[in-house]
Amino acid sequence: MQLRFSDSVLDLTSTRVMGVLNVTPDSFSDGGLYAAHQAAVGHALQMLEDGADIIDVGGESTRPGAQAVGVTEELERVVGVIEALRCETAAPISIDTSKPEVMRAAAMAGASLINDVRALRADGALAAAAGLKLPVCLMHMQGEPRTMQAKPRYADVVADVLADLEQRAIDCRDAGIPADRIVLDPGFGFGKTLAHNLSLLRHVDAFVATGYPVMVGLSRKSMIPAIMTNAGLSPPVSGQSKRTAAKARERLGGSVTLALYAARKGAHIVRVHDVRETVEALTIQAALSDSTDN
Ligand code: 7PM
């Protein structure tokens, strides 16, 4: 299994790591856009040094209940970062967006992959992606970010999400995106309860069985504290008041554990914030499965 970019190929025989680069005003520096861009590029280069295989650049917060971001603002956030990063590295850069204008500008700036949590459902997105001839990651989401966690319902979450993604892959192929440019993602936390997320994770192999490369995003998601609370551990603290760094650290062990489990279930790409720790865990797991006893 491999993923073909326009100028390179990513071998997916072992699990690959996608590093998350959020370029939102709060995520890097309060010293203006230029300083934020510089900090973002620095962080991306650090993730590559730590072993990331792909950098996922995102300028729109898809957090449940988040404000929609306008095209101009999203373009301002991501295009400069992709251009600057492209000058520094040949590593594949992914653009996390649903907007066709952003897809086109990102591709011009050097992006190699389109990662869309709305699976190219926005007006013009499917045609834009097909025209750009870039590989696409189709993520499953039930509902819209603002309301998706209200009452997620499935008859059979694994079968339903799988059927939705397979249908979407067919729609994309009909629109001219070849099968070998399609990646599927169950969309953990996007219109799913904890029970839904756990079922999907236990059955990641069912997604792998489709023959498409499978990506998963579990890093720092709320299912981690949810599991701990259910186990009677880590009493829920007032989430809003807590500093981002403290929250991230609190979810590190859970994030690495979930990434490792998904990799064992055959996931080809794990999308993570904590690249160094994830690469370390995956490398150790690989050494344990590869080595012959003596
Ligand atoms: C707040 C909550 C901020 C959740 C950001 C998020 C995925 C993704 C995201 C995923 C793919 C995050 C999410 N999640 N793209 N973009 N798969 N393909 O945790 O699971 O980064 S945004």
CA 246 to each of CA 43, 146, 190, 254: distance values in angstroms, whole numbers, following the listed order = 18, 25, 23, 14
Query: Which residue owns the Cα nearest ligand 1 atom 17?
Result: 217
Please give the distance, rounded to the nearest whole angstrom, from the Cα atom of residue 12 to the centre of ligand 1. Answer: 21
> What would the two tokens of residue 52 be?
């990331």
* Residue linked to tokens 């309301």: 147
**Residue closest to 38 by CA, chosen among 75, 85, 72, 1:** 85
**In which band, very low, low, confident or very high, does the pLDDT at 69 lie, cut at 50, 70 and 90?**
confident
pLDDT in the model for residue 24: 82
pLDDT at 63: 66
State the pLDDT at residue 240.
Answer: 62
Q: Tell me the three state secondary structure of residue 16.
A: strand
Best CA proximity match to 198, nearest among 268, 261, 270, 263:
261
> What's the number of domains the chain is made of?
1
Provide, rounded to the nearest whole percent, the portion of the chain with pLDDT above 70: 94
Out of 271, 272, 278, mutate this one to test ligand 1's pocket (max ligand atoms within 8 Å of CB): namely: 271
Active site residue 133: no
Give the domain CATH number at 259. Answer: 3.20.20.20
20 lines ligand 1 (CB under 6 A): yes
Kindly report the average pLDDT of the chain as a whole number: 93
Q: Measured from the CB, is residue 115 less than 6 Å from ligand 1?
A: yes
Out of 31-35, 101-105, 214-218, 230-234, pick the least confident: 31-35
Q: What mean pLDDT is predicted for residues 71-80?
A: 95
Quote the pLDDT of residue 123.
97
Residue 66 has pLDDT above 90, yes or no: no
Question: Residue 140 pLDDT more than 80?
Answer: yes
Mean pLDDT of the region 104-115: 98
Q: Which of 139, 201, 216 gets mutated to test ligand 1 (max ligand atoms within 8 A of its CB)?
A: 139
Contact present, 21 and 56 (Cβ < 8 Å):
yes
pLDDT tier for residue 65 given thresholds of 50, 70 and 90? low
d(CA 119, CA 237): 34
Mean pLDDT of 19-46: 87
Largest interatomic CA distance in the chain: 60
pLDDT > 70? residue 145? yes
Answer yes or no: is the C-beta of 183 below 6 A from any ligand 1 atom. Answer: no
In this predicted structure, the answer to whether residue 2 has a pLDDT above a threshold of 60 is: yes
Dist CA 107 CA 103 (whole Å)? 6
Residue ranges making up the domain that contains 178: 2-290
Residue 223 in contact with ligand 1 by CB distance below 6 A = no
According to the model, what pLDDT value does residue 235 have? 59
Give the model's confidence band at 197: pLDDT under 50 very low, under 70 low, under 90 confident, else very high: very high
Residue 238 confidence (pLDDT) above 80: no
Which positions ≥6 away from 139 have C-beta within 8 Å?
Answer: 115, 116, 117, 118, 119, 185, 186, 187, 190, 215, 217
Q: What is the mean pLDDT of residues 140-148?
A: 89
Whether 274 is in the pocket of ligand 1, judged by its Cβ within 6 Å, is: no
Instruction: Indicate the burial class of 281 (C-beta count within 10 angstroms; 0-12, 13-18, 19 or more).
Output: middle
Q: Which two tokens stand for residue 165?
A: 């993604």
Give mean pLDDT, residues 68-89: 95
**Secondary structure of residue 218 in the 3-state scheme:** coil
The C-alpha atoms of residue 150 and residue 192 are separated, in whole angstroms, by 9
* Buried b / exposed e along 71-99 (16+ C-beta atoms within 10 A): eeebbbbbbbbbbbbeeeeebbbbbbbbb
What is the predicted pLDDT for the residue at 245? 84
Q: Which of 12-26, 197-211, 250-264 has the lowest mean pLDDT?
A: 12-26
Residue nearest to atom 2 of ligand 1 (CA): 63
Distances (CA, A) of 137 to 98, 179, 181, 184, 247: 11, 12, 9, 6, 28
- List Cβ neighbours of 239 (8 Å cut-off, separation of 6 or more): 247
Task: Determine the angle formed by the axes of helices 275-290 and 252-264, rounding to 10 degrees.
Answer: 40
From the list 77, 104, 192, 221, the catalytic residue is 221
Question: Pick the residue with more confidence: 104 or 65?
Answer: 104
User: pTM for the whole thing?
Assistant: 0.95
